[in-house]
């Protein structure tokens, strides 16, 4: 299941975008969309929830007093997640600041829905291929593996003792 985090100051944008994602039928598989209007909560959500894609309009947060500190904290938290900017406006200072971070794509809100759907699909499929491990890690530690060997030895011993009397003699109380 894909998880999409939408960060935007505007309630109507979040609600409309969520409705479009849920009802367009353009995206692979099942997904959950969460919309936030707070940069600090968004950062914590990225760290805790581990979304597949983050879509954000950061232009609406420009009036905040410490917006660059909060933005850098947010963008650092989402370094391993495709981050799509869907900006409502342009700012040269903001563009220079954002160039320091890995941004998946940058679009304006007047971009076509097909273009936006293509960018989101690409980000989701890239994230899906990253999440599939190439090599399976061992599930047991060495100590746990030794415990399994002991259980296998007990099973072998119990297989040799068929009758209840044999089990009682060999100390196996099944």
Place of tokens 């309009």: 57
Q: Report the distance separating Cα 28 and Cα 26, nearest Å.
A: 7
Q: What is the predicted pLDDT for the residue at 139? A: 44
- Name which residue leads in pLDDT, 63 or 35: 35
Q: Where are the domains of the chain?
A: 2-131, 138-174
Check pLDDT > 70 for residue 165. Answer: no
> What superfamily in CATH does domain 2-131 come from?
Response regulator (3.40.50.2300)
The token duo for 53 is 């894609």
Q: Inform me whether the pLDDT recorded for 84 exceeds 70.
A: yes
And the tokens for 124? Answer: 């989701």
CA-based nearest residue to 48, from 36, 66, 63 = 36
- The pLDDT of residue 140 is 46
Q: What percent of the chain has pLDDT over 70?
A: 70
Residue 10's pLDDT band (boundaries 50, 70, 90)?
very high
Residue 91: CB atoms within 10 A of its CB come to 13
Give the DSSP letter of residue 136.
P
Select the more confidently predicted residue: 25 or 100: 100
Q: What is the pLDDT of residues 43-71, one digit of tens each?
A: 999 999 999 999 999 988 887 756 677 88
Handedness of CA 136, 141, 146, 152 (dihedral sign): negative
Name the pLDDT band for 153 (thresholds 50, 70, 90).
low
Instruction: Answer positive or negative: Cα dihedral of 120, 108, 16, 66.
Output: positive
Which of 69, 3, 74, 82 minimizes the C-alpha distance to 38?
74
């Amino acid at each position: 299941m894909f998880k999409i985090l939408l960060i935007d100051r505007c309630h109507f944008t979040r609600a409309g975008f969520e409705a479009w994602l849920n009802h367009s039928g353009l995206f692979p598989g099942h997904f959950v969309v969460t919309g936030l209007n707070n940069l600090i909560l968004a950062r914590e959500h990225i760290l805790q929830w581990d979304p597949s894609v983050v879509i954000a309009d950061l232009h609406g947060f420009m009036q905040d007093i410490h917006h660059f500190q909060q933005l850098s904290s947010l963008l650092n938290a989402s370094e391993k997640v495709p981050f799509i900017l869907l900006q409502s406006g342009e700012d040269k200072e903001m563009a220079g600041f954002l160039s320091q971070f890995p941004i998946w794509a940058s679009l304006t809100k007047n971009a076509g829905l097909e273009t936006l759907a293509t960018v989101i699909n690409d980000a989701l499929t890239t994230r899906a291929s990253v999440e599939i491990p190439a090599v399976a890690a061992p599930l047991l530690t060495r100590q746990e593996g030794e415990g399994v060997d002991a259980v296998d030895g007990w099973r072998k011993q119990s297989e040799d003792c068929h009758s209840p009397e044999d089990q009682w003699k060999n100390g196996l109380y099944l």
